[in-house]
Structure 1
Amino acid sequence: MEKETLFIAFSTQKGGVGKTAFTVLMASYLHYVKELETAVVDCDYPQHSIVEMRQRDMEQVMKDNYYKKMAYNQFTTLKRKAYPVEKSLPEDAIKTAETLIENATKQPDIIFFDLPGTLNSKGVVKTLAGMDYIFSPVSADRVVLESTLKFATMLNENLVSVGKGNIKGLHLIWNMVDGREKNELYEVYENVIGELGLNILKTFVPDSKRFRRELTSGHKPVFRSTLFPAHNTLLKGSNLDLLAKEILQTIKQ
């Protein structure tokens, strides 16, 4: 029996809370570290941030022997080629993913979708309905929280709970948590989230500048890249590995 490719989106209506960063970090970690076959459909029109990141990554590798050697060692040691990053319009995202699957040498285990941060964009709701799982990053900022809860509640009431579309699970993720531990305020928020019939993962992601560290000419350890996984020295304390483990448990991979 042919395996099923899971469609997953880190999606929210509020910009700046990490949906694109999570997409790249999780795709790279699962592909290069956990050795799952992943791909990304970047339908965040018009900026297509992940497509542009892949271009920057490739340019940096091609002109810098340090990163060129890193890429060579990764390929020869892990036998892992770079995962595909495809550009698409939101309304064409599912078709783009299906074509990607048809043309793949190895069928992807997971395809991640990076969508626009508004439900008003053409095709976004239809594409969200085609996801198997949706994860919504949220912070303890009141404006962000209200916006994300409104977004998640709308999806839950109009798609998930009534069985429209393919969505098997909708989960929130605490992001940009200040300090090493969550405080009592988060318990209050989680009670509200539960009363709304929504789920939130146990793993929280701390606020850290490391999440913005990409390939540079300075050869510092990289955290966010489409060609390399997060460096081990930066992985510790980021909770990215713990988040990946909980997500894999949630989607039963």
Structure 2
Amino acid sequence: MDKQTLNVAFATQKGGSGKTAITVLVASYLHYNCGCPLAVIDCDFPQHSLYEMRERDSRAVLENEYLKRMAYEQMREPGRAAYPVQKCRVERAPDMAAELAGNGNYDLLFFDLPGTVNSSGILRTIAQMDYIFAPVSADQTVLESTLAFLDVLQRMMLGKETSRLKGLYLFWNLVDKREKSELYGRYEKVIAGMGLPMLTTQIPDTKRFRKELDAENRTVFRSTLFAPDKRMVAGSGIPELAHEIISILKLSGYEETANR
């Protein structure tokens, strides 16, 4: 039987949660560092931030000789050509996913979803996700909003015949090392009481997550066209998050190539 392409989203109900940045970083790490064939569907209308990032990345490469050589060298390696980034309205996303999955070229499809369930067609699209990973910060408003959102999905979709949803996971994002660990412990008790699993990876609050292509300093972190620079990925939590996701999704053959 052919292996099913998995649909995955980083989703919350609060703006500024960093879901788009994390989507790009995890997708690029899995594809360019681990060799995992994937595509990204940006259905966060109207901004389509991820699709616009691909457009900026492409212009930067065309306008800069250093980045052009870097792209050429990367694309010469098997499996390291740029992954597709498609944009559409959220109600169209399941159909676009079916088209991409139909060619059998991808193990994963990442979705950048709108930040509200009030968007037309979003519940139909969420029902087509296999796994949702929700970034949360130690902020009561953010946490309550995200838990309410996940509670609805847990009751309405998780494990239901009308949905593909197999797993809901949370992970700490924007972690301030100065915050007391007891604060996270209290929140985690509430989350555990809801039966929602929390990943062990914590993503720190650092300015590097806002850093895109920089030809002058010759560093790359957040990019749709390049693997994140080893110097910048260290301590970011992205490799650890990517490996946890690989394990949860039961993807084989990618752990061994993660450091290439």
Same-fold call, TM cutoff 0.5: yes
Q: Deviations over 1:88-137 (max 9, x none)?
A: 110110101111233x4x61010000110000100111100100000111
Q: Which residue of 2 aligns with 1:116?
A: 114
**Paired amino acid for 2:194:** L
- Following superposition, the deviation at residue 77 of structure 1 comes to 3.3
Q: Which piece of structure 1 moves more, 129-138 or 157-166? A: 157-166
Give the Cα separation in 2 of the matches to 1:198 and 1:35.
Answer: 30
Q: Deviations over 1:14-45 (max 9, x none)?
A: 01111111111111111101001010000000
Instruction: Go from structure 1 to structure 2 and tell me whether the alpha carbon gap of 1:141 and 1:220 turns closer, same or farther (over 3 Å shift).
Output: farther
Give the match's secondary structure for 2:250.
coil
Q: Which piece of structure 1 moves more, 236-245 or 217-226? A: 217-226
Question: Within 5 A, what are the aligned runs for 1:1-253?
Answer: 1-102=1-102, 104=103, 107-160=105-158, 162-179=160-177, 183-253=181-251
**Paired amino acid for 2:6:** L
Give the match's secondary structure for 2:198.
strand
Runs of 4+ in structure 1 off by over 6 angstroms are: none
Query: Are the counterparts in 1 of residues 93 and 125 from structure 2 also a CA contact under 8 Å?
Result: yes
- Following superposition, the deviation at residue 78 of structure 1 comes to 4.5
Name the TM-score, length of structure 2 as normaliser: 0.93
- Following superposition, the deviation at residue 79 of structure 1 comes to 4.6
**Paired amino acid for 2:2:** E
Instruction: Go from structure 1 to structure 2 and tell me whether the alpha carbon gap of 1:247 and 1:79 turns closer, same or farther (over 3 Å shift).
Output: closer
Instruction: Go from structure 1 to structure 2 and tell me whether the alpha carbon gap of 1:79 and 1:250 turns closer, same or farther (over 3 Å shift).
Output: closer
Instruction: Go from structure 1 to structure 2 and tell me whether the alpha carbon gap of 1:242 and 1:181 turns closer, same or farther (over 3 Å shift).
Output: farther
Name the TM-score, length of structure 1 as normaliser: 0.95
Instruction: Go from structure 1 to structure 2 and tell me whether the alpha carbon gap of 1:169 and 1:81 turns closer, same or farther (over 3 Å shift).
Output: same
- Following superposition, the deviation at residue 149 of structure 1 comes to 0.8
- Following superposition, the deviation at residue 217 of structure 1 comes to 4.3
Q: Deviations over 1:124-179 (max 9, x none)?
A: 11100100000111000111111111111111111115454000100011101101
Give the Cα separation in 1 of the matches to 2:80 and 2:234.
Answer: 23
Q: Which runs of 5+ in 1 are unaligned?
A: none
- Following superposition, the deviation at residue 181 of structure 1 comes to 8.4
Q: Which piece of structure 1 moves more, 234-243 or 75-84? A: 75-84
The alignment yields a C-alpha RMSD, in angstroms, of 1.5
Give the match's secondary structure for 2:41.
strand
Give the Cα separation in 2 of the matches to 1:188 and 1:218.
Answer: 44
Give the Cα separation in 1 of the matches to 2:245 and 2:42.
Answer: 20
**Paired amino acid for 2:29:** Y
